[in-house]
Amino acid sequence: MSKEIDKRNNQRPVFPRSPLVSLVTALDIPDEEFSSIMDNLEAHNRLPQPGDEEEMTKEFGKLLLSGERRPSIAEVQREFKVGFTIACHVIDRLVELGAISAEDGIKPRQVLITNPEEYEKLWEK
């Protein structure tokens, strides 16, 4: 997505809405400063890209095998600094693969695969 000012319509680009982005776009600042601020925000608060969920899922599965993390949505959010929806997709994918147990009321999920080689085989399918 281009952060340059659209010279034809003299409008600033549309960015995903967050309180900080809304504040920056509401301020009446010169276009050069606006572009600089948005570049800085994008560098520090990078939004997940389409292929990132699969990579997050693989990485989180490895953390589960090492015992560093528990299989929960909150743990995914903490580890990757993502929102609830993306964290749910990561957990759902691990359930589909059979790496962790499905949700069972208030009981915590269980890691079903403890062997790293077995985990790698899941991704080959």
Closest CA to 80 of 55, 97, 99, 98: 55
Tokens standing for 50?
Answer: 């389409």
Residues 32 and 79 both lie in one domain: no
Does 21 or 2 have the greater pLDDT score? 21
Instruction: Report how many domains make up the chain.
Output: 2
Per-residue 3-state assignment (H helix, E strand, C coil) for 50-63: CCHHHHHHHHHHHH
Shared domain for 58 and 38, answered yes or no, is no
Q: Are residues 41 and 89 in the same domain?
A: no
Helix intervals (H) in the chain: 19-26, 31-44, 52-66, 73-80, 84-97, 116-124
Reported confidence tier of residue 91, pLDDT bands at 50, 70, 90? very high
Residue 114 sits in the same domain as residue 86? yes
Which structural domain, as residue segments, surrounds residue 88? 52-124
Q: What is the pLDDT, as a whole number, of residue 42?
A: 66
Q: Both 18 and 58 in a single domain? A: no
Rounded to an integer, the average pLDDT of 33-50 is 67
Look over the chain and give the mean of its residue pLDDT values, rounded to a whole number.
76
Residues 38 and 77 in one domain: no
Domain check: are 100 and 65 in the same one? yes
In this predicted structure, the answer to whether residue 16 has a pLDDT above a threshold of 50 is yes
pTM exceeds 0.85 for this model? no
